[in-house]
């Protein structure tokens, strides 16, 4: 997939296109993006997904802007996995937000994207103050020569799949429920940061995620898979503030690999790691002593070995 960062020159493209934030690239997004790619192949045209950076709410309503489910490169990788040929990461600014629905269609979809067909979800809104609806999009498409396909909302376990619902589930620690809507485990990616050595000296060794600004699960202990150095390994991950050590400071994300390689953890400071959250084990809480915390961690490891169906090992 090729990534573009500005509107192509008018007349340079002819595409089958879709527009959206696509945060999370959940199962509803996936079905829509796959339909765009399939129609593009039938027509012999490139498929194009248009998204915005930063998220429009960070410009228009920064105090209420959501933390992202899939920031940056993660979102692009997931869109590419749906078979899309081109991704336009359109810089979002106030001038763009002031375009009327008609101006949005003419400047973005017709002149920029060269759209011959457009796919959107039934709740799609566009243009200034989100005045444009899919009914208006169909009308404008008729005037401008592109067809519009509207996709019904996707349901999972009786509820509508949406990015906002995924955020609610993750923020509540319900990562298994979020995975149902995402079609994969919720995951975060970042750099390995130096720790304070407390785990290695007093409890168990951990890999520490650099300070992370986007969406994280509620504080607690989770069954996870940690990918680093080209390998993904079963792990326990704590999201929280390490209350046993009286820190109460910035949120930390620490992962203990259940079965580190014999040569040691294949990781270096500044290397990228990805943490996929599979299930929640327990709340984070304060223990009377580091020894009591270590005993709980040993119990947590036993629970994780059962979860991952691993033979008993040691912390």
Domain 185-308 is found in CATH 3.40.50.2300: no
pTM of the predicted model over 0.85: yes
Among residues 176, 190, 153, the alpha carbon closest in space to that of 71 is found at: 190
Question: Which long-range contacts does 136-141 make (Cβ < 8 Å, 24+ apart)?
Answer: 136/101, 137/101, 137/105, 140/101, 140/102, 140/105, 141/105
Segments making up each domain of the chain, as ranges: 2-159, 185-308
If you classify domain 2-159 with CATH, what class do you get? alpha beta
pLDDT tens for the chain, 315 residues long, are: 999 999 999 889 999 999 999 999 999 999 999 999 999 999 999 999 999 999 999 999 999 999 999 998 999 999 999 999 999 999 999 999 999 999 999 999 999 999 999 999 999 999 999 999 999 999 999 999 999 999 999 999 999 999 999 999 999 999 999 999 999 999 999 999 986 545 444 447 889 999 999 999 999 999 999 998 888 999 999 999 876 666 556 789 999 999 876 665 555 777 899 999 999 999 988 887 888 888 898 999 999 999 999 888 654
206 in Cβ contact with 254 (< 8 Å): yes
Dmax (CA) for the chain in angstroms is: 72
Q: What share of the chain is helix, strand, coil (3-state, %, to 5)?
A: 35, 25, 40
């Amino acid at each position: 997939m090729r990534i573009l960062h500005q509107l192509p020159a008018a007349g340079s493209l002819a595409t089958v296109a879709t527009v959206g934030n696509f945060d999370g690239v959940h199962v509803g997004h996936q079905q829509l993006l796959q339909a765009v790619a399939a129609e593009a192949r039938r027509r012999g045209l490139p498929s194009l997904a248009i998204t915005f950076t930063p998220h429009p709410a960070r410009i228009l309503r920064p105090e209420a802007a959501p933390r992202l489910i899939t920031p940056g490169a993660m979102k692009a990788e997931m869109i590419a996995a749906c078979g899309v040929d081109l991704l336009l990461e359109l810089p979002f600014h106030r001038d763009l937000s002031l375009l009327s629905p008609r101006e949005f269609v003419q400047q973005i979809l017709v002149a920029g994207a060269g759209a011959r067909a457009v796919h959107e979800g039934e709740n799609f809104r566009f243009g200034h103050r989100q005045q444009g609806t899919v009914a208006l999009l169909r009308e404008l498409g008729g005037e401008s020569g592109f067809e519009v396909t509207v996709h019904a909302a996707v349901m999972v376990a009786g509820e509508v799949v949406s990015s906002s619902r995924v955020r609610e589930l993750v923020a509540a620690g319900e990562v298994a429920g979020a995975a149902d809507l995402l079609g994969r485990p919720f995951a975060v990616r970042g750099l390995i940061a130096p720790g304070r050595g407390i785990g290695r000296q007093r409890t168990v060794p951990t890999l520490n995620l650099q300070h992370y600004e986007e969406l994280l699960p509620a504080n607690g202990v989770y069954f996870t898979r940690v990918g680093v150095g080209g390998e993904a390994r079963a792990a326990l991950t704590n999201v929280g503030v390490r209350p046993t050590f009286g820190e109460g400071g910035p949120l930390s994300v620490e992962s203990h690999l259940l079965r580190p390689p014999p040569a040691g953890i294949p990781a270096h400071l500044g290397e990228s790691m990805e943490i996929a959250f599979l299930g929640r084990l327990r709340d984070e809480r304060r223990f009377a002593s580091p020894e009591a915390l270590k005993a709980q961690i040993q119990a947590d490891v036993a629970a994780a070995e059962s979860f991952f169906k691993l033979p008993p090992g040691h912390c």
